[in-house]
Amino acid sequence: MHEPIDTLWGLLEHYSPSCHESEAANWLVSHMKELGFTQSYLDAVGNPIGIIGEGEKEIIFLGHIDTVEGEIELRRDGDLLYGRGAVDAKGPLATFVQALTRLGPIPGWKMIVIGAIGEEKDSVGARSIVDQYQPNFVVIGEPSNWKRITIGYKGSAKHELYISKDRFHSARSNDNACEAAFQIWDRIKQWTMQFNANEDQLFNQLQVSLQGFISGEQTFHDWSKLSISARLPLQISPEEYFQALSKICKPYTIEEMSDAIPAYLAPKNTPLVRSFLAGIRELGEKPGFVRKTGTADMNIVAPVWGCPTIAYGPGDSSLDHTPHENISIQEYENAIQVIIHSIKKLVKQL
């Protein structure tokens, strides 16, 4: 007989940084078979998939099985379970698996758990499934604290600015490539401050950060390169952001380093949201909403699928990516109960 903690412990026991998820994914497929899932398999890109029930209506529970790098010793200290991914986001993924196991098949409904690969890198797992499903409802597995529902994530963009200038004697007053780079960076920061001048909430602000700087010399020129990352609010699309940045950086060019992702904000008044609010109240707590300043697979799938979507899962997101990552076992259990209550209420409405 499997205990709820077995799913979480097993996932944490299989270290799975991005691009190295196969052992954890295979373990989860086998574990879901043992738990009685109707189907359990790896898809074409390596996402572990578990299905309970059959029907025309679908609910997808999309978590991610990869983590950032940095293995943490798996250990339990009272109510806390330490391990890489305990919060981000094997805790939420294990919550999905356990909740559906307890719910069992619901007539007319197909419930699908997906442990997407690559979320911490390029979201290859989520990108590979957007044209394979057309669900009625989606729950994204990310930590929000079991008493809160996440309805929004900011977008993201990464790019590099390369500057090359003819070399000259250091006794002259000309700006070299390094100085030119930091002058442009100052212009970018000034533009960001102007953009955010009337925005008090961080979710609505444009955040631009310098992630790296290198420079060098060649025979007839010197060069510098800035690596820049941005968190985009709803008010500016990736296209608008790059257009503005290109003007600021003239005569030098900006190179995009990955596909930019727009921000996403889900509506609050949906059957899915109402069911989860009721599910949290069922356990005697007052629910709340969260809009996060990071980016998640929600940004990728929700605009394509166009159905009610939330992100939910146990865990303190301030511990994401840290060497102290841990999750409360009681919170994990509470989140399982919330999902069970919520899905029962949801299917009764429809």
* Domain ranges across the chain: 4-153+263-349, 156-256
Contact between 50 and 32 under an 8 Å Cβ cutoff? The reply is: yes
With 0-12 / 13-18 / 19 or more C-beta atoms within 10 angstroms meaning exposed / middle / buried, residue 161 is buried
* Pairing status of strand 57-64 against strand 137-141: parallel
Which of the residues are catalytic? 66, 119
Q: Which two tokens stand for residue 111?
A: 């419930």
* Sign of the torsion formed by the C-alpha atoms of 201, 206, 212 and 217: negative
Report whether CATH 2.40.50.40 matches the domain 156-256. no
Report whether CATH 3.60.15.10 matches the domain 4-153+263-349. no
pLDDT of residue 173: 53
pLDDT of residue 50: 98
Contact between 79 and 329 under an 8 Å Cβ cutoff? The reply is: yes
pLDDT of residue 106: 96
pLDDT, tens digit only, all 350 positions of the chain: 578 799 999 999 999 999 999 999 999 999 999 999 999 999 999 999 999 999 999 999 999 999 999 999 999 999 999 999 999 999 999 999 999 999 999 999 999 999 999 999 999 999 999 999 999 999 999 999 999 999 999 999 999 999 988 765 554 456 788 889 999 999 999 999 999 999 999 999 999 999 999 998 876 788 999 999 999 999 999 999 999 999 999 988 888 887 899 999 999 999 999 999 999 999 999 999 999 999 999 999 999 999 999 999 999 999 999 999 999 999 999 999 999 999 999 999 87
pLDDT of residue 157: 95
Q: What span, in angstroms and rounded, lies between the C-alpha atoms of 74 and 85? A: 10
Contact between 335 and 102 under an 8 Å Cβ cutoff? The reply is: no
pLDDT of residue 1: 57
Q: Which of 95, 64, 62 is nearest to 313 (CA)?
A: 95
pLDDT of residue 164: 86
pLDDT of residue 170: 53
